[in-house]
Amino acid sequence: MKKHIVIVGGGFAGINLIKSLVNDKRFRITLVDKNNYHFFPPLIYQVATSFIEASNISYPFRKLLSNYKNVNFHMGNLVKADHKNNILETDTGNLHYDYLVLALGTESNFFGMENVKKCSIPMKTIDEALYLRNYMLLTLEEAARNKNIKEAQKLQNIVIAGGGPTGVELAGMISEMGSYIAQKEYPEIKFGLSNIYLIDALPTLLSPMSKMAQEAAYDQLKKLGVKIILNTAVKDYVDGKVILGDGKTIETETLIWTSGVIGREVPGIQEESIGKGRRILVDAYNKVQGTKNVYALGDIALQLSDENFPKGHPQLAQVAIQHAKNLGKNFKRIEEEKVQIPFAYNDKGSMAIISKFNAVVDLPKFSYKGFIAWLTWLFIHIIPLISFGSKVRLAFNWLRLFITNNPSIRLILRPKKENAFHTEF
């Protein structure tokens, strides 16, 4: 009989596991996801800033899976993983499985700050990116109408909490878009009043990267006019004021939250199997501790068995991809009654774009920055897109937009927050 593998989450890990087992007659695969599309998270900040369309980095699951004979798609939210009875409960029906693979990823971590959770704008999903785009455009329109200087400044101020790659890339993009577009298209606004703040509790930007990358990001963002505040955490957000750890406040109607992530909750997984950051503890083969046939991949997995990463692997796309490929090999080896292969992460480096023609790249043996790093970033971020058509469209759009500095998709299509995104899985 075919072994039924149920995969929850269609991100990098889920899709690459499917590809490693596609058309293998020994397995029947069901992909479960709350959305009907796969998307490319590293580029959602470009969706949020009206630079590219969401369709440039998204692809429907059913179209992707239509040529895979042993794969089905089930759209639904996870309700419970009943690993004792091998049943996955979703809000659209239950699925029996032989193997369950949890690849749900993470969600924004607000560190218990309810006001920040309620009033800030996270940016982990396509829906959240589209909401942020609409919100910033609506805020600009309101600032253009407002004659009160103090209120207009509050509307124009943007605070980004989190100095990692997403925060840095977002700050650079918003600053450049303001210079190229906003000043031209919003003549009513006095842009000398506006400020972009980038805040982080750590002493450097891009803390996981090299010192060269950290300094390059800091210097370039300073040149773009971004106000960088380090060694200071956001503590609250009350009445349009961001309250910092040192007691200072910043008046703004726009607090963008990129400060941290936490694993998505999986009801049914016992507490003893949950580690730091709500990540699921797994062994060297990505099997969840305390279970016999449940696995976790990618950002949600916390694997402490790799001697080179005793505190767990970084939450990067490459980890998820390598997790998936290794598990795919092991599923085959289990069927063939062969010894499984323990996972060992091959660190291929990291990168971040700072501004137009300027990026930083850290490779295992050396680092570099500037225009060549920017070209590297573009190339690396086109390769993982699912379809050839998406790659061509994105490359063409990038070429046109980097030449003209004038994207034309600044349309307010989904102005209501309650219709813009859903946080449950």
Domains of the chain: 3-34+76-108+262-335 (3.50.50.60), 114-259+352-419 (3.50.50.100)
Rounded distance between C-alpha atoms, residue 423 and residue 425, angstroms = 7
pLDDT average, residue stretch 118-126: 94
pLDDT at 341 over 50: yes
SS3 at position 177: helix
Quickly state the pLDDT bin for 413 (edges 50, 70, 90): low
DSSP string, 328-355: HHHHHHHHTT-PPPPP------EEEEEE
State the CB neighbour count (10 A cutoff) for residue 69.
Answer: 11
* Average pLDDT for the chain: 91
Q: Per-residue pLDDT tens for 165-221?
A: 999 999 999 998 877 777 778 888 876 778 999 999 999 999 989 999 999 999 999
Residue 424: what pLDDT? Answer: 41
pLDDT average, residue stretch 343-366: 92
Axis crossing angle, helix 211-223 with helix 165-177, rounded to the nearest 10: 20
Residue 343: what pLDDT? Answer: 97
Quickly state the pLDDT bin for 280 (edges 50, 70, 90): very high
pLDDT average, residue stretch 56-69: 93
Rounded distance between C-alpha atoms, residue 334 and residue 190, angstroms = 66
Residue 419: what pLDDT? Answer: 46
Residue 113: what pLDDT? Answer: 96
Considering only 6-10, 160-164, 381-385, which range has the smallest mean pLDDT?
381-385
77, 81, 95, 97, 363 from 85: Cα distances, Å: 19, 9, 11, 9, 45
Contact indicator for 263, 103 with CB cutoff of 8 Å: no
Contact indicator for 259, 234 with CB cutoff of 8 Å: yes
pLDDT average, residue stretch 402-422: 59
